[in-house]
Structure 1
Amino acid sequence: MKTREIKELSVKELQERLDNDKAILSRLKLNHTISPLDNPMQIRDVRKQIARVATELKLRENKQ
């Protein structure tokens, strides 16, 4: 998801997306521990996505 798309989402949608991405990250880490993933870069991509969403939430919180 691009930054432009993240800015178009509401706060509620951002929070849901953040929770969902965190669950995906924990599942990916667990699966990678058990047996190596075909593409371990997925973990990095999900971490970056979490950071983007969290940053947008923080900016909106500080704006109010």
Structure 2
Amino acid sequence: MNSLNIRSLSVHDLLKQIKENQKKYQNIKFNHHIKPLKNPMEIRSIRRKIAKLKTEYNKKINGRKI
């Protein structure tokens, strides 16, 4: 999901995506502790996606344009 797609989401959709990605992040991180992942960079990419979603959510809630 690129930044243009993230900007077009509504506040409700952003919250939904944040929660889904946080669950996915927790599961991947837990599984990585048990058995190392083939591609550990997935952890970083999911964490960054969550940060992008939260940033856009905060922009919409606060009514700012950055």
TM range (shorter): over 0.9
Aligned to 1:13: 13
TM-score (norm 1): 0.97
Task: Output the amino acid matched with 2:3.
Answer: T
Question: Counterparts of 1:5 and 1:46 in 2: how far apart (Å)?
Answer: 16
Count of matched residue pairs: 64
Percent of pairs identical after alignment?
A: 36
Measure how far apart 1:60 and its partner are.
0.6
What RMSD over aligned residues (CA atoms) do the two structures have, in Å? 1.0
Measure how far apart 1:59 and its partner are.
0.5
TM-score (norm 2): 0.94
Unmatched tracts of structure 2, length 5 or more: none
> Are residue 59 (structure 1) and residue 56 (structure 2) matched?
no
Unmatched tracts of structure 1, length 5 or more: none
5 Å-filtered alignment, 1:1-64, equals: 1-63=1-63
